[in-house]
Amino acid sequence: AQIKEVEFVKSSGRAKDCPRDARPEFAILGRSNVGKSSLINALVRKKEVALTSKRPGKTQLINHFLVNRSWYIVDLPGYGFAKASDAARMDWSAFTKGYFLNRDSLVAVLLLIDASVPPQKIDLDCANWIGRNNIPMTFVFTKCDKVKGGKGKRPDENIRDFQELIIQNYREHPPWIMTSSVTGLGRDNLLLHMSQLRNY
């Protein structure tokens, strides 16, 4: 299940410009600042692999990375920029939905959820949209190393709250994995999970 080689293949401005071979792929999606770049870098054990533009309103791209010459990690634009204009938000949804609904080689969406904060409406909306469209999804909870003082809840409590708020569109609840890019928690689990979904 280990990653031996990662090659950046291309950035696509439109879903229909994505690579056309049928190699299986995993799309990584989450709110801006959820820890997506850190997670991708931890997975592939490299710095600065994730290239997605972080600034709202800038061109958003779908980035394909070929792993071990056999499957793709796809870095999708983050959603939920606090400062993004309505136009930029609309762009995000039209463009990303186009990708999800037309991508036969998509094995699963890895939806990143920040476990250090309470459930966020935008994440629930995104998870429910993916669920309603019957797209296979795994919840990848990030920042599970963060321990809140005072009134803040622990990561495991935030995760439980999130799971309880998800509508039950799935015959089975989506699989979920706890991760931390700081401690490396969940890295091997996530790699194993992806290899099981690919069947090798």
Which residues contact ligand GDP by CB under 6 A?
A: 30, 32-38, 54, 78, 142-143, 145-146, 180-182
Beta carbons of 159 and 176 less than 8 angstroms apart: yes
Tell me how far apart the alpha carbons of residues 141 and 112 are, in angstroms, rounded to a whole number.
6
Cβ 84 to ligand GDP shortest distance, Å: 13
CA dihedral 53→55→57→62, nearest 10 degrees, is: 20
63 vs 193 by CB, closer to ligand GDP? 63
Cβ 69 to ligand GDP shortest distance, Å: 25
34 vs 109 by CB, closer to ligand GDP? 34
AA letter at 97: K
35 vs 174 by CB, closer to ligand GDP? 35
Angle between the N-to-C axes of helices 187-198 and 36-44, in degrees from 0 to 180, rounded to the nearest 10: 80
Cβ 94 to ligand GDP shortest distance, Å: 21
Return the residue matching tokens 């409590």.
157
54 vs 198 by CB, closer to ligand GDP? 54
Cβ 22 to ligand GDP shortest distance, Å: 28
Tell me how far apart the alpha carbons of residues 156 and 181 are, in angstroms, rounded to a whole number.
16
